[in-house]
Amino acid sequence: MNTLPLLLVPGLMCDHTVWEPLLPHLEPSQKYQMVDHHLANSLTQMAEQLLRHAPDRFVIAGHSMGGRVVLEALRIAPQRIAGVALMDTGYLAKLEGQSGESEVAKRLALLQIAQAQGVRAMAKEWVKGMVHPERLQDGVLIDQILDMFDRKNSDIFARQLLALIHRSDTTDVLKAIQVPCLILCGQQDSWAPPSQHEEMMQYVPHATMSVITSAGHMVTMEKPQAVAEAMNNWLHFAQRS
């Protein structure tokens, strides 16, 4: 049986660095392809350019904003996707009223730091709530995250924030998923908590949910082996769908 390629879709201001720690733990025969969002400023545009460069049929995993891009790709071309993994992500549009305004204000405050002081300075603030609290003292991990952000500029940050602020509700896409599906998050993810993923499970009852202990939002970098084990189990079924 030919192995379908695995597309790995990073989140906000992230790149291959998010995925590389788990690659040694994936099945050796698994082919993969990293996705880059380039200058896209909407989730739909990100999904469309992903599909333009993707094989005819593939399996796909998205982390954080990347999970939302995966859902947009599913909306556009469900027949090309044999399996989907959604990690530390969400599915709802920006909330109305004060909650939505608060989200936008927090995002724009980070953008102001990036524009005034540089992306690395912004990332130092951003990362405080994005890893397990005990990992904030892990200099190697934190530097990897800061270096990753520093490879992009404030213009790209602004474009990706615009994409997230104007995101669509993808409840209908979740309900339509028929292929093997993994829903995964870090147990201490304060941005996209386990409760949010449990809500997603209600719409994809055949999905498998995995909550990775002692990990925050950057779960693929914090606990790569545990994430890879969950992915290998998912891929076992997705490759046969």
Q: Is 203 exposed, middle or buried (0-12, 13-18, 19+ CB in 10 A)?
A: middle
Q: Give the mean pLDDT of the chain.
A: 97
Measured CA to CA, the distance from residue 149 to residue 174 in angstroms comes to: 30
Does the pLDDT of residue 224 top 60, yes or no?
yes
How many helices and strands in the chain, by DSSP H and E?
10, 6
The per-residue pLDDT for 1 is 54
How far is 19 from 13, CA to CA, in rounded Å? 13
Second CATH level (architecture) for the domain 6-94+169-238: 3-Layer(aba) Sandwich (3.40)
Average pLDDT over residues 153-158: 98
Sequence ranges of the domains in the chain:
6-94+169-238, 97-161
Sequence-distant contacts of 101-105: CB under 8 A, at least 24 apart? 103/165, 104/165
Mean pLDDT of 130-152: 97
Task: Please compute the mean of the pLDDT values over residues 223-232 and round it to a whole number.
Answer: 98
pLDDT for res 166: 96
pLDDT at 240: 86
pTM metric for this prediction: 0.96
